Structure 1
Amino acid sequence: MRGNVLVLSISGALGMFSRGMVFPYVPLYIMTLGGQPAEVGIVYALGPLGGLLIFPIAGYLADHLNRAKLIAAAGFAASFIILINVFAQSWEWVAVSRFLWGFIVFHFPAQSAILADSLPPENRGRGLATMNTVSGSAGILSPYVAGLALDYYGVDFGMRILYSVMSVAYFGTALINLWFIRETRDAIDNDISLGNASETLQNAYSGIPDMLRRLPRSMKGLAVIIILAFVANGISGPFWVVYAKEILDLSSSQWGLILLIESIVRSLIGIPAGFVVDRFGRTRFIILSLLLGGAAIYSFGLISGFVAVLVVRCLVAIVTAFISPACGALVADLVPRDIRGRTMAAIGRGTVRFGAASGGTGGPGMGFLITIPLIVASFCGGILFESDPVSPWVLVPGIMTIAAFIAIFFVKDPKDAEI
Structure 2
Amino acid sequence: MKLTEKLRGEFSFIKGNYAVLIVSWIIVDFASELPATYFGLYVLGLGATETILGVIGLSQFLALASMQFPGGYLADKYGRKWLISTMTFGVALSFILYGIAPSWHFLLIGVVLMGIFNSTYQPALNAMVSDSLPAERRGMGFSIIMLIASASTTPSPAVAGLLRAHFGLVDGMRIAYAIVVVLFLAAAFLRFFFLKETVVNTSKPHLKEIIHSYPAALKESFSVWRKLPKSMLYLFLSFSITIFGFSATNLLTVVYATRVLRIDEVVWAFTVAIVPITTIILAIPVGKLVDKAKRKIPLLASMLIFGLAMWVFVYADLAKVAASLILVGAGQVMLTASFGALQTDLTPKEQRGKVNGFINFANYIIMATGSLLGGYLYEHVSPQAPFVIAAVTVLPSFLLALALVKEPERREE
Shorter-chain TM-score: what band?
Answer: over 0.9
Cα distance in 1 for residues equivalent to 2:304 and 2:149 = 27
- Residue 194 of structure 1 deviates from its aligned partner by 3.4
Counterpart of 2:21, as a letter, is L
* Pair 1:396-2:390 in alignment: yes
Mapping of residues 3-402 of structure 1, within 5 Å = 3-104=16-117, 105-190=119-204, 192-197=205-210, 199-304=212-317, 306-347=318-359, 367-386=360-379, 387-402=381-396
Q: Is the 8 A contact 2:79 2:198 kept in 1?
A: no
Q: Is the 8 A contact 2:98 2:111 kept in 1?
A: no
Q: Is the 8 A contact 2:57 2:371 kept in 1?
A: yes
- The count of aligned residue pairs is 398
Counterpart of 1:289, as a letter, is S
Q: Is the 8 A contact 2:80 2:128 kept in 1?
A: yes
Cα distance in 2 for residues equivalent to 1:196 and 1:322 = 39
- Residue 281 of structure 1 deviates from its aligned partner by 1.2
- Residue 11 of structure 1 deviates from its aligned partner by 0.3
Cα distance in 2 for residues equivalent to 1:255 and 1:52 = 31
Q: Is the 8 A contact 1:277 1:325 kept in 2?
A: yes
Cα distance in 2 for residues equivalent to 1:76 and 1:188 = 21
- Residue 247 of structure 1 deviates from its aligned partner by 0.8
* Pair 1:407-2:389 in alignment: no
Counterpart of 1:112, as a letter, is N
Counterpart of 1:65, as a letter, is Y
Q: Is the 8 A contact 1:266 1:321 kept in 2?
A: yes
Cα distance in 2 for residues equivalent to 1:343 and 1:276 = 25
Structure 1 stretch 196-205 or stretch 150-159: which is displaced more? 196-205
- Residue 189 of structure 1 deviates from its aligned partner by 4.5
Q: Is the 8 A contact 1:79 1:167 kept in 2?
A: yes
Counterpart of 1:343, as a letter, is V
Q: Is the 8 A contact 1:34 1:91 kept in 2?
A: yes
Q: Is the 8 A contact 1:71 1:107 kept in 2?
A: yes
Give per-residue Cα distances to partners, 1:178-229, cap 9 Å, x unaligned. 1111112332254x32344564233212213321211211110111122223
Q: Is the 8 A contact 1:22 1:163 kept in 2?
A: yes
Q: Is the 8 A contact 2:32 2:180 kept in 1?
A: yes
- Residue 307 of structure 1 deviates from its aligned partner by 1.6
Aligned in 2, Cα 1:278/1:298: closer, same or farther, shift over 3 Å?
A: same
Aligned in 2, Cα 1:257/1:195: closer, same or farther, shift over 3 Å?
A: closer
Aligned in 2, Cα 1:148/1:36: closer, same or farther, shift over 3 Å?
A: same
Cα distance in 1 for residues equivalent to 2:229 and 2:244 = 23
Cα distance in 1 for residues equivalent to 2:69 and 2:371 = 22
Give per-residue Cα distances to partners, 1:162-183, cap 9 Å, x unaligned. 0110011110110000111111
Cα distance in 2 for residues equivalent to 1:371 and 1:175 = 27
Q: Is the 8 A contact 1:10 1:135 kept in 2?
A: no
Q: Is the 8 A contact 1:144 1:256 kept in 2?
A: yes
Structure 2: tracts of 5 or more residues without a match? 1-13
- Residue 377 of structure 1 deviates from its aligned partner by 1.1
What is the aligned-residue RMSD (CA, Å)? 1.4
Q: Is the 8 A contact 1:82 1:97 kept in 2?
A: yes
